[in-house]
Structure 1
Amino acid sequence: MITDLSQWTARPTPTSAPMAGRHVAIVPFDRADHQGPLWEAFGGIATNDLLYHFGWPRMEEATDLGAIIADMNAHRGFVTCVFTAPDTGLVMGMASYMRIDEKNGVCEVGCVAHGAPMARSPAATEAHHLMARRVFDELGYRRYEWKLNNANEPSHRAARRLGFTFEGVFRQLEVKPYGNRDTAWYSMLDREWPVVRRAMEAWLDPANFDADGAQRRGLKQIRDDLYENGS
C-alpha cells in the first residue's frame, strides 16, 4: 500500500499530562508521591512477582521501585503515567510511553502494570483508551507498539484484547536477570485506531454492563462486529 507522506512532519513527544475518564484519572509519575502507593498497589514485596517479566533488578522496598522508574524517566526516555481512582486518588497502576520516535510517529506503551485495585476492571481498559487517544488523536502518531516477554501469556491476552496486532517474535533479543528474553511485537496503526476507539467507547458505555457490573458484550466481540459491518 502506497501512502502519501509528502506533508508528513515529526510529531510532538507524548506527555503524561493529566487525562481524565469515568473510571481512571492519569497523572504524571512523581517519585515522592507515587513510589509508596505503587509499591502497595502491586503487593509490596510481591511487586517483584508482578513485574517479573520486566526483567528489573530485585526490589526490597518502595524506594527501589521509585529509583528504577525515576531513572528510566530521566535517562531512558520513559514518560510514566500513573493510574489513579478519580474519586479517591487511590494509586492503582502505571504504564509508560517509551521508545518514542517523533520523526516517524512511532511510540510504545510499555512497563504496563495493573495493581489489584484495577486489574481486569473498566479502569484498565479506560486507561489504555486514554493513552492511545493522546498518541493518535492529539498528536497524530502513525504507529503504537506493545512489546512483551514472549513467555508472558497474560500480556499477550491483554494486547490482543485491546486491539493490537501480533507481528512476530524477536528471538534471543535480550539477556535478563531471569535469563533469555524472546520479545513478541504487537502494533496498532492510525488507520486501525478509529475502529479500536469506537469499540473501546462502546465497551466502556455504562449500558454495556448489567446491574452486577458484568459486561454484556466483550471488547473483542464489539470490535469484530464493527469490522464485519464495515464501520
Structure 2
Amino acid sequence: MAQPVTIGDIVENWTPRPHPLSNPQHHILQGQYCRLEVLTSTNDIVIQQLYDAFKPTEETHFKYLGYGPFKTVDEFKQFIYMKEQPSGSNVLYAIFVNDMAVGFITYLRISEEHGTIEIGSVNLTFGTFGYRRVVWSCNALNMKSRVAALRFGFQYEGTWMKAEVSKGRSRDTALFSIVDDEWSQIKEEFQRWLNPENFDINGQQLTKLNGAKVNPRHHKITDSS
C-alpha cells in the first residue's frame, strides 16, 4: 500500500504581503528610544553623520562583512547607492537618536509573495505587514552576531556551508529565524526589557534581554533533546 504523502499545512486566505514602503506612513517609524527614517544616498547630511558615527574606515568593524572599510565619505555614499539598487529589493532605514543619525538597518531579500524578509524592524514586519518569517544571517565565525541573534529571540536553523567567497575567503553562513506565531511572546520580553523601570539612573539595565528562552521553539527543542 502506498504511503501517504506528508505536505505542509494549508495557509488559509493567504495573499501576498505589502512591500515595506507601500505605505508612506512607514517611511518614518517613531519608537520609544529612537526614530527610523528611510535612508537614501541623496541625503548628504545623514550620510556624513553615519560616516562619522561608526568610523567606517576601521577594518575591525568589517571583519566578517562582505563590504568595507570605506576610505572616504564618497565611497560610503556609493555603497549606500548600490544597496538601493534595484529599487525596492532592499529598504534602508537610518537610525536617529536625539535627531542624530547613529546607524542604519536594512530589509533585504523581501518576498511579498511568500511573506518572508531578512532582518529589519521585527515588530513592523509581523504586526503591520503580516510577514510570516524574519531571518537573521551572519558569517558563521561571527560569534558576537550569533549571540545577539539568540538574545533577540531568533532560533538557530543551520549553516550554509561554503555559501560565499567574501574578500577572497570562504564564508559559511549561519541562519536564524523568528516566525509569526513566536513573535507575541518575544515582543513581551522586549517590552519588559525596555521598560524604564528596568534601567537605573545611569541608564544601565537591571535585568538582561533573553529572547531565546521565551521563544516557544526554544522549549520545543529543549523538551525533545
TM-score (norm 1): 0.81
Gaps (5+ residues) in structure 1?
A: 110-127
Q: 1:14 maps to what in 2?
A: 20
Q: Indicate the larger mover: 8-17 or 198-207.
A: 8-17
Output the TM-score relative to the length of structure 2.
0.83
Name 1:114's counterpart in structure 2.
none
Q: What CA deviation, in whole Å up to 9, does each residue of 1:100-147 have, x standing for no partner?
A: 1111100001xxxxxxxxxxxxxxxxxx6xx11111000000000010
CA distance in 1, matches of 2:67, 2:212: 34
Identity %: 26
| Partner Cα distance (1:172, 1:9) in 2 | 34
Structure 2 segments unaligned to the other structure (5+ residues)? 1-6, 220-225
State how many pairs are aligned. 204
2:115 to 105, 109, 116: 105
* CA apart distance, 1:44: 4.5
Give runs of aligned pairs for residues 1-231 of structure 1, distance below 5 A: 3-15=9-21, 17-31=27-41, 32-46=44-58, 48-56=59-67, 58-75=69-86, 77-85=89-97, 87=98, 89-109=99-119, 131-220=121-210, 224=213
Using the TM superposition, give the Cα deviation of residue 2 of structure 1 relative to its aligned residue in structure 2, in angstroms. Answer: 5.6
Distance 1:71 1:44 in 2: 16
Task: Render the CA deviation track for 1:18-38: whole Å, top value 9, x for unaligned.
Answer: 111121110111322322111
Counterpart CA distance in 1 for 2:40 and 2:133 is 27
CA distance in 2, matches of 1:153, 1:60: 26
- State the AA in 2 paired with 1:146: W
Distance 2:17 2:145 in 1: 28
The 4+ residue runs of structure 1 with deviation greater than 4 A are none
Between the aligned partners of 2:214 and 2:175, the Cα distance in structure 1 is 25
Deviations 1:181-219 (A, max 9, x none): 100000000000001111101110001112232222211
Structure number with the bigger relative contact order (C-alpha 8 A, sep ≥ 6) is 1
Larger CA Rg, structure 1 vs 2 = 2
Q: Which has the higher helix share?
A: 1
